[in-house]
Amino acid sequence: MSPPTLPTGVERRLFDGDERLATRGASVYGEPTDGEWRVWDARRSKLGAMLEHGMETGLSGGETVLYLGAAAGTTVSHVADFSGPTYAVEFAARPTRDLLTVAEDRQNLFALLKDARKPETYAHIVEPVDVIVQDVATRGQAHVARANRPFLRDDGRLLAAVKARSEDVTADPESVFEQFSSQLDGYEILETQRLEPFHDDHLAVVARPDRDH
75 is in an annotated binding site: yes
Question: Which pLDDT value is given to residue 5?
Answer: 82
**Is 65's pLDDT higher than 60?**
yes
Provide the β-strand partners of residue 35. none
Dihedral sign of CA atoms 19, 163, 31, 39 in order: positive
CB 167 within 8 A of CB 139: yes
Provide the β-strand partners of residue 191. 206
74 is in an annotated binding site: yes
**Is 213's pLDDT higher than 60?**
no
Is domain 41-209 given the CATH code 3.40.1160.10 in the classification?
Answer: no
90 is in an annotated binding site: yes
Give the chain's mean pLDDT.
95
**In angstroms, rounded to a whole number, what is the distance separating the alpha carbons of residues 111 and 108?**
10
**Is 166's pLDDT higher than 50?**
yes
**In angstroms, rounded to a whole number, what is the distance separating the alpha carbons of residues 183 and 102?**
34
115 is in an annotated binding site: yes
**In angstroms, rounded to a whole number, what is the distance separating the alpha carbons of residues 17 and 20?**
9
| Sequence-ordered alpha helix ranges (H) in 31-120 | 46-52, 74-82, 93-104
- Nearest alpha-carbon partner for 79 in 125, 23, 6, 140: 23
180 is in an annotated binding site: no
Question: Which pLDDT value is given to residue 1?
Answer: 46
Per DSSP, the residues of 120-147 read GGTTTTPPPEEEEEE---SS-HHHHHHH
Cα separations (Å) of 59 from 22, 33, 122, 187?
15, 23, 24, 18
- Amino acid (1-letter code) at residue 194: R
170 is in an annotated binding site: no
Return phi, psi of residue 100, to 5°: -65, -35
Rg (CA), the chain: 16
Mean pLDDT, rounded, for 24-33: 96
Cα separations (Å) of 131 from 5, 15, 167?
17, 29, 23
Question: Which pLDDT value is given to residue 46?
Answer: 98
Domain segments of the chain: what residues? 41-209
**What are the pLDDT digits (tens) for 91-142?**
999 999 999 999 999 999 999 999 999 999 999 999 999 999 999 989 999 9
Question: Which pLDDT value is given to residue 138?
Answer: 92
Torsion of CA 52, 76, 99, 180, to 10 degrees: -90
pLDDT tier at 170, thresholds 50, 70, 90: confident
92 is in an annotated binding site: no
CB 45 within 8 A of CB 75: yes
- Nearest alpha-carbon partner for 206 in 163, 145, 151, 153: 145
116 is in an annotated binding site: yes
Question: Which pLDDT value is given to residue 3?
Answer: 63
